[in-house]
Amino acid sequence: MKLTKNTKLVMIGDSITDAGRAQPVGEGMGGALGSGYVSLVDALLGATRPDLGIRVINMGTSGNTVRDLAARWQRDVLGLKPDWLSVMIGINDVWRQFDSPTRPERHVPLDEYERTLDDLVTRTLPAVTGLVLMTPFYIEPNTQDLMRAQMDRYGAAVKRLAQKHNALFVDTQAAFNAVLAHLYPATLAWDRVHPGLTGHMVLARAFLRAVEFEW
């Protein structure tokens, strides 16, 4: 596995990462890591590799776009001095284009999204051992759906950046697609965005496979 002894892993993103984590720093017992994929990653690492003492910190914040991440990057990423960093952002960047169509100031266009994320990655790479970039997703199997199609474009930007910076890449949409071949979207998420426990396990599994976790 790529995560080694005493690794500090910071996982940052929006509400999917947040999942009710403790504020201001999501770390510790009693639900501090939230109820989503971050806590599942921590639990699986702790249960199978307690000898490594991996420290997981959840810095997701509900409602965030890549603009919000940029505004808090120094405090919530660089200031925490992670060894490994995982980033999953973009759902709200896309969603606001559809649920708030008359409020363009809330929209984050694709070029700004990719440029901003590229800048954050460039600033961070010298300070970390490893970086994981996870795509945004939409739990909808129809690729012609307007929001799904737009989400795929943002996911493609994440893939380009992962290739550019030699980061680990997690295609969360592909992970959900495999499940959606058998389950109706509402089974995983009533709004096709905020998954229940099964959906969060899909995300946790995709992340852990990327870091070569031994199942």
Residues known to be catalytic: 15, 191, 194
Structure tokens given for 54: 């991996």
Q: Is the dihedral of CA 44, 45, 49, 55 positive or negative?
A: negative
Contacts of 168 (CB under 8 A, 6+ apart): 2, 130, 131, 132, 133, 162, 210, 211
Question: How far is the C-alpha of 177 from the C-alpha of 75, rounded, in Å?
Answer: 35
Question: How far is the C-alpha of 204 from the C-alpha of 3, rounded, in Å?
Answer: 15
Nearest to 162 by CA among 214, 99, 88, 108: 88
Length of the chain: 215
* Residue with the two structure tokens 């009533």: 190
Are 56 and 33 within 8 A, CB to CB?
yes
